[in-house]
Amino acid sequence: IILQTYRAIADYEKRSGSEMALAMGDVVDVVEKGQSGWWFCQMKTKRGWVPASYLEPLDSPDEAEDPEPNYAGEPYVTIKAYTAAMEDEVSLQQGETIEVIHKLLDGWWVIRKDNITGYFPSMYLQKAGE
């Protein structure tokens, strides 16, 4: 079966459980065209990168998923400079050696340099010696 593909020309809010909401621009496959003007549709599968911090597990949303911290610290080197945007972040130049204390799943790791501790983007870190 080849389904016809349509695009939503306006937002539509659901008014009952069997309906599907539409955002203008959404692309759908039409499964059934009811004579009543109600068409049964399936949203085209969307895929892409999203920030992990915006997600919680569907089951057991309160269970911690982050790994345990490692207070001994694991040596890493910064591969790109970053200037703290918030108070709990750390500013570092490229090429600085630091210790990673906690590899949080949202990609903002807790690092330690000398006496300073704070968050730093894991994307700008590389294991020392690699």
**Tokens representing residue 118 in the block:** 């704070």
Q: Is residue 105 part of the contact set for a second copy (CB under 8 A)?
A: yes
Q: Toward other proteins, which CB reaches closer, 17 or 129?
A: 17
Calpha distance 26→123 (Å, rounded): 32
Which of 123, 84, 83, 117 is CA-nearest to residue 98? 117
Calpha distance 87→99 (Å, rounded): 19
Number of residues that bind a second copy (CB under 8 A): 54
Restricted to residues 62-101, the positions that interact with a second copy (CB under 8 A) are none
In whole angstroms, the minimum distance from the beta carbon of 123 to other proteins comes to 5
102, containing H or E segment: strand 97-102
The one among 90, 92, 100, 108 contacting a second copy by CB under 8 A? 108
The one among 6, 73, 82, 117 contacting a second copy by CB under 8 A? 6
Calpha distance 110→122 (Å, rounded): 9
**Tokens representing residue 45 in the block:** 């599968």
Encoded one letter per residue, x for contact with other proteins by CB under 8 A and - for no contact, window 34-63 reads x-xxx-x-------xx-xxxx-------x-
Q: Is residue 30 part of the contact set for other proteins (CB under 8 A)?
A: no
Which residue is listed with tokens 């972040």? 89
Calpha distance 26→19 (Å, rounded): 15
Binding footprint of other proteins on the chain (CB under 8 A): 9-10, 12, 15-16, 18-19, 24, 31-32, 34, 36-38, 40, 48-49, 51-54, 62, 82, 86, 106-108, 119, 121-124
